[in-house]
Structure 1
Amino acid sequence: MSYLIWLSRVALLGLAATAASAILLFSTGAKKESDSNQVIALTQENIQTWKSRVAQPPTPTTQLSSQKQSGDEQKVPKRYFDLNQSLSLNASLFATHTSLGMVAIGVAEGNYRLFIENNTLYLEQTAGYFGHTDPGNLSWGEVVTNYGPCSDQGRSGGNIAKAEQMCSQRALGGLSRQLVDLNAAGIDPNADLEALLNTADLYNQARLIHSRKFPEALELARQGGKTGVEAIAWARTASFYINDAE
């Protein structure tokens, strides 16, 4: 289950930023244990959809571009990026509240928990899924109750089905921007699922002035020799202060 690697990394890094204040989080409407909607046994259709996206996508088409080196014009390969093609490939990540991308966001928010029992993968909706106040909101002087996988800032008014739909719509609404930003930073969003999931998660958590800096920060981290979780963690932190250095 290699897709669990992406989920665990996004969850670990997404929660790290709020771990110190997590003790302040309190539930306002926990679901009863007997409610069958609290734990979802993910179907083979869910799993196959996840696996198909985690699998390496087709090699991107390349085109030749001109660059001048030492006075001579040379043709060098350049990665071709088609936004519509990329959207078609990645939209399924956020299509429903149990799609891979939405699960990653939900786990990072503390609203989902994944576990395996008797060779079946389960997705548990935590108490926070059904209503909680975020410490981050309190720090801004706002008091709102969040619902659904993405912590919807109260937009659904407590209607869980509406919260699930709105979370997916919001994630899909930001996807084009995220794909373009990753490509502009030199990261192939179709091949680097970990970068894409972290970009989407940060978009859900932070203001655009910070979240849109994540791709640039990640590329800087990698150019500096950082890899894996270290690069992701550095970039997520740097995206909040990189504007101050400009």
Structure 2
Amino acid sequence: MIEDDTELAEILTEYLKQFNIKVTNYEDPFLALSSLKLNTYDLIILDLTLPGMDGLDVCKAIVKDFDIPIIISSARSDITDKVTALQLGADDYLPKPYDPRELEVRVKTILRRFNHTNVQEEKSKTFKLDLDKKEITKNDKYIKLTAAEFEVLSLLIKREGFVISREDIFDNSDLLNQDYEGSGSLAVIINRIRQKIEDNPKEPKYLHTIRGMGYKFHNE
């Protein structure tokens, strides 16, 4: 849990404890993000109004680097925040105040769905992404990628089925920016990826260009 309201955090922690749900709370979002690199968590309950860093930015950082379901727990009433959080990749949005029983049900529901999905994907997906090893495989065969290619393809895989704009790719990249040109341009990187993953790069089955919008990835 990333929540700077310590009283609320204690109440929720004690309540969820009776359902064998162990909660570790961080008031500081920077400490929380650091902890994610060192520890394994099943789910994140994220407040949006945090000290030093907006919760939406925290959500964006988590989705970029980790495959963990997120429940937004927020007192913000602006529908834009809810829409933005869900677009960034949050799995649920719970407006404060709420009954702890509702949080308990949502946590269990999302964990059940998330765990089931992971099992299904492990069995059926053509492409598998291993962020810890910085590896992507196709039908369990390793794909040799440059750092930029891995960064772009991993983002597309994580957001499978959604159109990802050029701006989204740049915003979520540590290696690319809007002035990235020449041999390292995004279009060139996309073409190089297609050469490595498609049976026929001229008629792509997995990585599609959506004219005027961006790119969409299908992991069949």
Provide the TM-score with structure 1 as the length reference. 0.29
Q: With a CA cutoff of 8 Å and minimum separation of 6, indicate the structure with the bigger relative contact order.
A: 1
Q: TM-score, normalised by structure 2?
A: 0.32
